[in-house]
Amino acid sequence: MRAIPSKILPLRKIKRSGTTCLSRTSGLENNATNGPQVRFSFVAGASPSLAKGGRSALPHRGHRPRDERCHSSGVEHHLNRIDDCHSQLSQKPIYMKTFRNIIFSLKHRISNGSRVSIGVYIKGFENIRLGRNCKIHDSSSLDASRKGRIEFGQRVTINRYADLKGGAGGVKLGDGVEINNQTVIDGTGGIEIGNDTLIGPGARIISYQHEHAAGKLIRLQPTVGKSIKIGSGVWIGANAVILAGITIGDGAVIGAGAVVTKDIPPNAIAVGVPARVKSYRT
């Protein structure tokens, strides 16, 4: 394995005899005239001559007059080069991690016009199906690593930090569905959402729950999945919770913060905890 060159070791701040020092494995003295005195010193891995301002392995520095060498812009130049080098190294594993995302993204961009950000967290690529012109935004998550598939119709939008898990039952979204930021959808019991339904930010649609008989740790009891069906043209408000086994009829509205524990008929407006039908869309 190649040793990491000493010049890319990270910058550390140290205190020395009342002077603030930024220390690296290599660097140069800086007698800044403005503000507090800052000294770049060699603490490890460099020759003593370098510590005294001698010739350096860094480009150009050894050939420049001392005054110029100590000028703060020169220092910044070298530090920037080192930081660039450092960040290139530290980014390498990220490139490798996102390689499959890039392929996935390119494939869908070319084949059906869908835009999948490279920053999406994706697991179970082979179980994910996207229709035409979908948009999957950065920092959202699609996990289809278990039995259930994640399937989208056309023009589906998944906004940032939305988290979809196929689980064992799968998640199926119709055409034109929009899932807002930070929504969690868990398809353990299976979830189907009809065309043109809008899910507000922070909603929780979780199709399982834990059995919770007395006398035994809940953690040790099985989970029970029950399917959730949400119709077409539904609007689910911010932070609403839809429990396992619920059916919400076409065109219904679920108020912000509602907890839906019973089925909601089509076109009903349901609000509160637990959600009650307040009125109907007319």
Ligand X SMILES: CC(C)(COP(=O)(O)OP(=O)(O)OC[C@H]1O[C@@H](n2cnc3c(N)ncnc32)[C@H](O)[C@@H]1OP(=O)(O)O)[C@@H](O)C(=O)NCCC(=O)NCCS
- Annotated catalytic residues are 210
Which residues make Cβ contacts (< 8 Å) with residue 81, sequence separation at least 6?
58, 59
Q: Is 278 in the site for ligand X (CB under 6 A)?
A: yes
**Which of the residues 38 through 57 are near ligand X (CB under 6 A)?**
none
CB of 274 to ligand X, least distance (A): 11
Q: Can you tell me which of 148, 166, 167, 200 binds ligand X, judged by CB under 6 A?
A: 200
- CA torsion 245→247→253→257, rounded to 10°? 0
CB of 199 to ligand X, least distance (A): 7
Three-state secondary structure call for residue 49: helix
Determine the Cα–Cα distance for residues 279 and 282; give it in Å rounded to an integer.
Answer: 9
Residue type, 256: A
Q: Give the binding-site size for ligand X (rule: CB under 6 A).
A: 13
CB of 265 to ligand X, least distance (A): 15
Token reading at 157: 């939008």
Determine the Cα–Cα distance for residues 226 and 174; give it in Å rounded to an integer.
Answer: 20
Q: Is 198 in the site for ligand X (CB under 6 A)?
A: yes
Task: With contacts defined by CB under 6 A, name the span among 47-55, 74-82, 208-216, 248-256 that binds ligand X.
Answer: 248-256
Token reading at 123: 């697991």
When the beta carbons of 41 and 183 are compared against ligand X, the nearer one is: 183
- CA torsion 28→33→36→41, rounded to 10°? 10
Q: Are 158 and 177 in contact (CB under 8 A)?
A: no
Which residues make Cβ contacts (< 8 Å) with residue 132, sequence separation at least 6?
112, 113, 114, 154, 155
Task: With contacts defined by CB under 6 A, name the span among 35-43, 64-72, 80-88, 268-276 that binds ligand X.
Answer: 268-276
Site string for ligand X, 224-243 (x = CB under 6 A): -------------xx-----
Q: Can you tell me which of 180, 188, 195, 207 binds ligand X, judged by CB under 6 A?
A: 180
Q: Can you tell me which of 95, 272, 274, 280 binds ligand X, judged by CB under 6 A?
A: 272
Backbone angles phi, psi at 2, to 5 degrees: -75, 135
CB of 271 to ligand X, least distance (A): 4
Residues that bind ligand X (CB under 6 A): 180, 198, 200, 237-238, 253, 255-257, 269, 271-272, 278
